[in-house]
Homo-oligomer: A and B are copies of this chain.
Amino acid sequence: MQVVADKGVPREREAWAARYDAVRAYTETLATPLSAEDQTVQSMPDVSPTKWHRAHVTWFFENFLLVPHLPGYRTFDPAFGYLFNSYYEAVGPRHPRPARGLLSRPGIDEIARYRAHVDNAMRRLILILGEEAWTGLAPLVELGLNHEEQHQELLLMDILHVLSCNSIDPVYDALEVETAATPPALEWLSFDGGLREIGHAGGGFAFDNETPRHRVWLQPFRLASRLVTCGEYLAFIGDDGYRRPELWMSEGWATVNAQDWIAPLYWRNDGPGWSVFTLAGRQPVDPAAPVRHVSFYEADAYARWAGKRLPTEAEWETAAIEQGDALHQMTNEAWQWTASPYVAYPGFRPLAGAIGEYNGKFMSNQMVLRGGAAITPPGHARVTYRNFFPPNARWCMGGIRLAEDVS
């Protein structure tokens, strides 16, 4: 390994180290309001404990960068490879996902030490690696940082669910996470049909599932300039939306009945009216705010009720490029369910090695969401970004943007 120190650390590496530190610090900032107890609980199999998130993103750097690429690196604790591997079959066996909440040890102090240990080593790796080696590894560091950003959002999704299971309505952060006001006026923007290109064009980071860029044929369509509001969604509820099978996909209807859905997740109709559990505690439902925490099934049923439909991901991406400035609430309120199942783009090739499991193996029984949410780390998403969840998922922050055909 060629050490770069004698020439001094190049400025570009310092920028990398600073970005690394910033991303890592933001995770800790998000965990700060949470007690050791809060960080330990797993409220359902989809949810992971906060401390598990903090350790898993650290393991990602340790396992994919430090162990193979930093000479002399000493693993913090060999057992962590088993405890904090999420789903990388190629890396080896791992602690069962639904049992993450059974791990009282290591505790949050131990995990803080783990993070510090890995951070020190990562800074060394970033600063001292020879130029050629660095060129090869920088994409993996970038992937690790984007991975941690995804877990920052998951951490917030998950702790909201954890706290919601407690009848005393605990507050994560009294800061107003929710914004509320008069919603923007609803306009229907028109887009021509024809041949377009979607997918990442290169230049800057993207996940493998955003590639390759490829052509698609679009029919002319219209897209709503803003998201469906809670007030509009209340009209759907009031019109028996959750009791009319003709509005629902067959599996959606089965889910509505099996799980007794009568409103979005976290909504409750108690005495004075509808309230919603948020990171700021229980709040009255704000009719002007975008509806959140609905599943694809609910978004699809709402659209059918409204005489509209959900956009495809190609329509969404095209619209975002062509009229991004006229479209409101594209990235800062709620992810937007599309009508597109999550499948590989034509010619898709996953990354080589264990990292290839990152996205590709989930291309089954999931729907694409586009945009970004209030809990998405700033700067994380982009116009080609493909988020995905199963159609019944409600704990992700999914909302509704409507589309319609041009007849």
Contact = CB atoms under 8 A, between A and B. Distances in A.
Overall SS of chain A's interface: mixed
Interface string A153-182: 000000000110111101000000000000
Contacts of A165: 99, 102-103
Contacts of A51: 37
Contacts of A362: 249-250
B216 A104 contact: no
A64 interface: no
A167 B82 contact: yes
Contact of A36 (B37, B82, B99): B37
A14 interface: no
Interface string A88-101: 01100001000101
B43 A40 contact: no
Give the number of times this chain occurs in the complex, counting copies. 4
A35 to B, nearest CB: 5
Interface string A208-225: 000000111101000000
Contacts of A107: 35-38
Contact of A339 (B35, B37, B343, B365): B343
Point out which of A40, A170, A344, A362 has the most chain B C-beta atoms below 10 A from its C-beta.
A40
Point out which of A39, A43, A297, A365 has the most chain B C-beta atoms below 10 A from its C-beta.
A365
Interface of A: 35-41, 43, 51, 79, 82-83, 87, 89-90, 95, 99, 101-108, 162-163, 165-168, 170, 195, 214-217, 219, 245-246, 248-253, 296-297, 300, 339-341, 343-344, 346-347, 356-357, 361-365, 391, 405
What 6 A-B pairs are tightest by C-beta distance, nearest first?
A341-B341, A89-B245, A36-B36, A38-B104, A37-B104, A102-B165
